[in-house]
Amino acid sequence: MPSMPFDRLLHKLMREYKQHMEEHLAPQLTAGQFQVMEYMLTNEGPFKPSDMLDYLATTPAAVTTLLDRMERGGLIQRQRDEKDRRIVWIAMTRKGREAGEHGMELKNQFFQTCLDRISSHNQQLLLFLLNKVVHENGSDSSGNP
């Protein structure tokens, strides 16, 4: 199968997802801010800005700018490490947690709406096939096919 139809469909789905999230997150969060909140909600803390670089696929300077805006907006707090002042720890505020959890609900609703268009059997098949595409050896990170 040529890769062009796959590329177009994936691009269309991600464009629709991005538009959905931007429309429904505003004015509380930007899409980039939601990614930070999503990372913090789905991983064990405490967090340093450098912990998020791979997940956000960006530069240290861009993460710093993003976190600056989030701190000004009351979504996160920064705290210097007591033993090593060069280290900065990041934590969500209550406002940030609520906004992040709302964003997670929006994300889940979007993808559930997409999956509801196909049968349960085809949902499982789609996930199986996407797992094969994403993981070189055909198994997820836990070793399950």
Each residue's pLDDT tens digit, 3-14: 778 889 999 999
* Signed CA dihedral, 91, 97, 103, 107: sign only: positive
pLDDT-derived band of residue 45, with 50, 70 and 90 as boundaries?
confident
pTM of the model: 0.80
Domains of the chain (ranges, CATH numbers) = 3-134 (1.10.10.10)
Determine the Cα angle at 72 with ends 60 and 29, to 5°: 80
Query: Is the predicted pLDDT of residue 145 greater than 60, yes or no?
Result: no
The mean pLDDT of 7-31, rounded to a whole number, is: 91
Which positions ≥6 away from 114 have C-beta within 8 Å?
13
Give the containing element (helix H, strand E) for 140: none
Q: What is the pLDDT of residue 16?
A: 94
Tell me the CB-side half-sphere exposure of residue 120, using CA atoms within 13 A. Answer: 0
Q: How confident is the model at residue 88 (pLDDT cuts 50, 70, 90)?
A: very high
DSSP 38-81: HHHHHS-S-B-GGGGHHHHTS-HHHHHHHHHHHHHTTSEEEEE-
